[in-house]
Amino acid sequence: MWAAVCLALLILSASALANPSCPTPKSGMLNVHLVCHTHDDVGWLKTVDQYYYGSKNSIQLAGVQYVLDSVVRELKEDPNKKFIYVESAFFFRWWDNQSQDMQNTVKDLVARGQLEFINGGWCMNDEAAAHYNGIIDQMTLGLVKLNNTFGPEARPTVAWQIDPFGHSREQASLFAQMGFEGLFFGRLDHDDKNTRWANKTLEMVWQASQNLGESAWLFTGVLPNGYGPPGGFCFDILCHDEPIMDDRRLHGYNVDKKVNDFLKAAQNQAQGYATDHIIMTMGEDFNYQSADMWYKNLDKLIRYVNERQTNGSKINVFYSTPSCYLKALHDANITWPTKTDDFFPYASGNHSYWTGYFTSRPALKGYVRKTNNFLQAVKQVSAMLGLGQDPRLERLKEAMGVLQHHDAVSGTAKQHVTNDYAERLAQGVAESFELVAEAYSKLQPDISGVEETVEPVFCPLLNVSSCPVSETSSAFVVTVYNPLARPRQYYVRIPVPEGVGYKVTDYKGDAVEVQLVPLPESLLNIPGRNSTAKHDLVFLAKDIPPLGFLQFHVKKSANIRIYKEQMSSVHVPTGSGEMELVGKNLALGVDKDTGLLKSIGVVTPNGITMVKVNQTFLRYAGMSGNNHNEDHRASGAYIFRPNGTSAQEISAKANITIIEGPLLFEIHQVWTPWVSQVLRVYMDQLVLEMEWLVGPIPIEDGIGKEIVNRVVWPDIVTNNTFYTDSNGREIVQRVKDFRPTWQLQNLEPIAGNYYPVNSRLILSAGPDVSAAILTDRSQGGTSLDHGHMELMVHRRLLHDDAFGVGEALNETAFGKGLVVRGKHYLLHSYFATSKDCDFGCLHRSVGEHIMLEPVLSFTPTTATTHTWKNTYTNKWTGLKTSLPANVHLLTLEPWTDGSLLLRLEHMYEAQESATLSNPVTVNLQDLLVDWKILSAVETTLSGNLLKKDENRYTWNVDSAHHDNHISSSQCDSEVYEYDDEFSVTLNPMEIKTFILTTEKSTTLF
């Protein structure tokens, strides 16, 4: 019965939306789809606003406003002409400045299918360094705004990733889940492209999820020529190709030559493709500022090429769009090849592996991830407290949208543009924090006239352990907000000056145990750090409610005895041999001679099981070169190319200091003044924190350097196989010096084995022995030998790599090389000592805790502990029932007309955990304390299409590849709208998106 229902649904979903004015192809001919387009980077050599206006044209002659002005003029004059537009960040800058008349004109052009939105996200996001949460948010922002402006008929149906430097499987899966029909891109490994060209497999069906079945299939096409026109046919004001000169009375008549060249180019291109349709991208970066040049010449080209048909030519050319091209491919009704791995890494030549940008600008990458954490919390608080779509929140969403661009989070923009990106994040965070402060104040009693009211303050410099409020106030309240939909505990760290003890009180009025932990010397010495804090005040916040907060009252104590009691014991080990530090759950073995980690163990009632592990930092010397040919390619912002075969020691030993106390122990390791680390074990945790601090990387020797953290598990035999996450979601297998679908000749044995790591790198030697390292930002990573885990944390280079940015990646701040501080988290399957939480559970739950850490804010107070406890709301939650351990609350945000957007995600893959990989059911009505849900309507992942209206193309694939286990989500798909029963079932890795109509059920605010 169940199978019959599924079948019926599949048959019904036979056709999908395409542009209403697609040209009619001619059968028996090669049909050439000319796609007029511009590629407008949301910041790269100029800032996003400089590009919009056309300011600083001495850097690059590019002004997006002129593109849209001039294209609209051309389209209005000739209904035959078409254009596609991609980046919503630019489009809405322009749209907001148009008259009503002009807006109506544009609406007509869109309705007629002359102007078609493609992709439609805020930007064309990077695929290596962007996290899935950021990708979904930025796509949703652009797509929903397009929907609200032009209606559902204008919904982009084609994903267009023409420039990103490699393509992730998760990106394709997310696009499919957003309702896209197909994806086109321009860059893939040169040998992969040659192979696919020869086999006519440049177009395929990407089976982009190992969990979601056909709902994650996406038709994918590689564009023939990057995203540019065939040679000789660039007619832009920025190009130098000859126009079509067709007046025989004038000198230079070239129609015959141009037509011959074009016919040849079309025939050549057809060699690589499987149908009698081909696509030609007629445009380049920031083209069409003077659109008439393109259109005038393309008009002539179309006329003269098609005139040849009267002489027997079998080539037919017309204005088209990617959705019309995709429809033609679908109508061809042939069987397509499939693909299940991804398109990383991208090599444009034998020595040009684009694997450096996986790590480039690690501070910016960390800032983007941290801001995502904050953005999710702001959305949740705004939704739960009914704040609606506040413009301050919109600005933060837009800033994050810009930062996902393939020259932003990728670290491949010029320095002044990078500074502009960081400024956008800082402004967005500052404004949104006002919103959070307002939300918090709604929950507090009206005490005006009784107490002096002080607004909470957010400390954005906690990353360098600096916070003016905690450093200077004699008493303050810290609010610990938990953005997870289940309770958690968290070790709060607050920067404080030395020589002072503290009394910390919880909401029940009980004293909380405190440990004062000295900050490492290398942190205190970071250039530009302006702080009196010498210690972190650490305490454990237990049972922080889900989507809620706990407050703690913190008061300085004048009693020197309290300070001494709270201060950690600090000592430098003497003697030689291995020493063991044993905590409540974990133990570390450290070599006293080298100061390096030697083993890690788990403490059980039966004793301690120790596992061998070595860890140190190494450096690659970046290749210098003039880039005149592949052999002389330099390591740069895009490219990783070490100058030599292996990484060199930074120092054979690290000086160490041991810090111990009741809540945690730390080992402070210093290799050199510019490489140090804190190994940290909290008593109640089952993970080793490794907080690294790298920089200023010295360059006085004239050599650029790329710094890696290498962890080696001698007993994990990995046979060249390792695993990396894809955009923070599913795990992809990697095999050293191997690509699953083509023969690799790897002339760069290190760089050619680097892959993007957004959240974790995993080693496995069978079902019982695995280890994982998790990251707090995107980085490049690899495994070059048995048991090796390698993550690149920072790079400072002295040469440009000649792929356009035109600067060496040499970041400085305060006159010195940039210092970066970040964390790795190390796990071994032996740590999974509890029946309830196996290795899959360990790395997924630690990963979720890293992705959404608690948000801290600080309020100076004059209230006594007693008054604070009895007057203020110091514990609050907006969630009625915690979500099950395998469900992640991905999004809760204010939506239109008082509704809310909710996304729930099953955060486990099938097979990953014995119990947590099972399907799970949640009742939406049980979620929110203060809101009654009147109805819930399921949409696609991007919130711009009702799930019941989704009707994607189906594609014939080689039956050997046909995935028989159709995701059961497709089969319970009759239920997309809920107004009575709100029970929702999630399968492994499934995300469901809902628009909730709600009614306030509280008088609290």
Closest approach of Zn ion to the CB of residue 93, in Å:
17
CB of 164 to Zn ion, least distance (A): 8
Report the residue number, 226 or 232, with the smaller CB distance to Zn ion: 226
> Shortest gap between Cβ of 557 and Zn ion (angstroms)?
56
The pair phi, psi for residue 301, each rounded to 5°, is: -60, -50
Total residues binding Zn ion (CB under 5 A): 2
Q: Are 590 and 656 in contact, with CB atoms under 8 Å apart? A: yes
C-beta of 163 vs 800, nearer to Zn ion: 163
Task: Identify which of residues 161 and 551 has a Cβ nearer to Zn ion in the complex.
Answer: 161
Which range touches Zn ion (CB under 5 A), out of 156-164, 224-232, 528-536, 897-905?
Answer: 156-164
Distance of CA 431 to the CA centre of its chain: 23
Q: At what angle do helices 291-307 and 255-270 cross, to 10 degrees?
A: 80
Do the Cβ atoms of 761 and 789 come closer than 8 Å?
Answer: yes
Contact 140, 421 (CB under 8 A): no
The H-or-E segment that residue 807 falls in is none
Does 163 sit near Zn ion (CB under 5 A)? Answer: yes
Kindly identify the residues of this chain, within the stretch 509-568, that bind Zn ion according to CB under 5 A. Answer: none
How near is the Cβ of 406 to Zn ion at its closest, in Å? 6
Stretch that binds Zn ion, among 159-167, 168-176, 303-311, 754-762 (CB under 5 A): 159-167
Q: Which residues pair with 215 in a beta bridge?
A: none
Task: Return d(Cα 169, Cα 725) in angstroms, integer.
Answer: 10
Name the one range near Zn ion by CB under 5 A: 162-170, 244-252, 741-749, 826-834: 162-170
End-to-end CA distance of the chain: 49
Enumerate residues 6+ apart whose C-beta is below 8 A from 998. 898, 899, 900, 928, 931, 932, 933, 934
Beta strand 203-207 with 182-185 is unpaired
Distance from C-alpha of 532 to C-alpha of 126, rounded to nearest angstrom: 39
- Dig out the tokens for 987 from the structure: 């399968």
CA–CA separation, 60 vs 53, rounded Å?
A: 12
Nearer to Zn ion, 41 or 74 (CB): 41
Q: At what angle do helices 391-403 and 88-95 cross, to 10 degrees?
A: 140
Least Å from the CB of residue 51 to Zn ion: 11
| Cα 970 → chain centroid | 27
Residue 725 forms beta bridges with which residues? 731
Binding span for Zn ion by CB under 5 A among 163-171, 312-320, 735-743, 942-950: 163-171
Q: Which is nearer to Zn ion, 163 or 506 (CB)?
A: 163
Q: With contacts defined by CB under 5 A, name the span among 34-42, 47-55, 339-347, 425-433 that binds Zn ion.
A: 34-42
Q: Closest separation between CB of residue 352 and Zn ion, Å? A: 17
Residue nearest to Zn ion (CB): 163
Q: How far is the CB of 354 from Zn ion (least distance, A)?
A: 13
> Whole-number minimum distance, CB 405 to Zn ion, in Å?
8
Candidates 31, 38, 40, 41: give the one binding Zn ion (CB under 5 A): 41
Q: Are 894 and 908 in contact (CB under 8 A)?
A: no
Spatial neighbors of 930 by CB under 8 A, at least 6 apart, are: 384, 385, 386, 878, 1000, 1001, 1002, 1004, 1005
The residues in 307-336 that bind Zn ion, with binding defined as CB under 5 A, are none
* Both tokens assigned to 187: 């860059």
Two tokens at 722? 């390792």
User: Of 11, 135, 132, 211, whose CA–CA distance to 912 is shortest?
Assistant: 211
Give kind and range of the element (H or E) at residue 905.
strand 900-906
Considering only 14-22, 38-46, 471-479, 612-620, which stretch makes contact with Zn ion by CB under 5 A? Answer: 38-46
Q: Identify the bridge partners of residue 616 per DSSP, sorted by sequence position.
A: 710
Mark 110-149 with x for binding to Zn ion (rule: CB under 5 A) and - for no binding: ----------------------------------------
**Radius of gyration of the chain measured on its C-alpha atoms:** 29
Helix (H) or strand (E) holding 789: strand 788-796
Considering the candidates 40, 41, 163, 189, report the single residue annotated as catalytic.
Answer: 163
Q: Of residues 174-193, which lie at the interface with Zn ion (CB under 5 A)?
A: none
Cβ nearer to Zn ion, comparing 41 with 801: 41
Q: How far is the CB of 82 from Zn ion (least distance, A)?
A: 22
List CB contacts of 265: < 8 A, sequence separation 6 or more: 230, 231, 232, 233
Tell me the closest approach of the beta carbon of residue 966 to Zn ion, in angstroms. 37
CA distance 191 to 185: 16
For Zn ion, the closer of residues 163 and 536 by Cβ is 163
**Alpha helices of 41-131 — where are they, by DSSP H?**
48-53, 64-77, 88-95, 100-111
Between the alpha carbon of residue 724 and those of residues 719, 753, 773, 984, the distances in Å are 16, 12, 10, 30
**Between residues 163 and 706, which has the closer beta carbon with respect to Zn ion?**
163
Beta carbon of residue 724, minimum distance to Zn ion (angstroms, whole number): 24
- Minimum Å gap between C-beta 344 and Zn ion is 18
Stretch that binds Zn ion, among 33-41, 247-255, 444-452, 622-630 (CB under 5 A): 33-41
C-alpha span between 247 and 35 (Å, rounded): 26
Q: How far is the CB of 123 from Zn ion (least distance, A)?
A: 9
- If one asks whether residue 893 binds Zn ion (CB under 5 A), the answer comes out as no
Give whichever of 156 and 501 is closer to Zn ion, judged by the CB atom.
Answer: 156
Omega of the bond leading into 696 within 30 degrees of 0 (cis): yes
Nearer to Zn ion, 124 or 856 (CB): 124
Q: 459 with 856: CB under 8 angstroms?
A: yes
Nearer to Zn ion, 160 or 895 (CB): 160
163 as an active site residue: the answer is: yes
SS3 485: coil
848 belongs to the binding site for Zn ion (CB under 5 A) = no
Q: x/- string (CB under 5 A) for Zn ion, residues 423-442?
A: --------------------
Q: Which two tokens stand for residue 607?
A: 């004793």
What mask, x for binding Zn ion by CB under 5 A, covers residues 228 to 257? ------------------------------
Nearest to 469 by CA among 863, 862, 859: 859
> Which is nearer to Zn ion, 163 or 666 (by Cβ)?
163
The smaller minimum CB distance to Zn ion, of residues 805 and 995, is found at 805
Site of tokens 């537009």: 85
**Residues 6 or more apart from 542 whose CB is under 8 A from it?**
489
Stretch that binds Zn ion, among 158-166, 193-201, 483-491, 952-960 (CB under 5 A): 158-166
User: In the beta sheet, which residues pair with residue 480?
Assistant: 550, 856
What is the C-alpha separation between 534 and 464, in angstroms, rounded?
Answer: 11
List residues bridging with 679 in a β-sheet: 667, 690
Catalytic residues: 163
Residues at the site binding Zn ion, with contacts judged by CB under 5 A: 41, 163
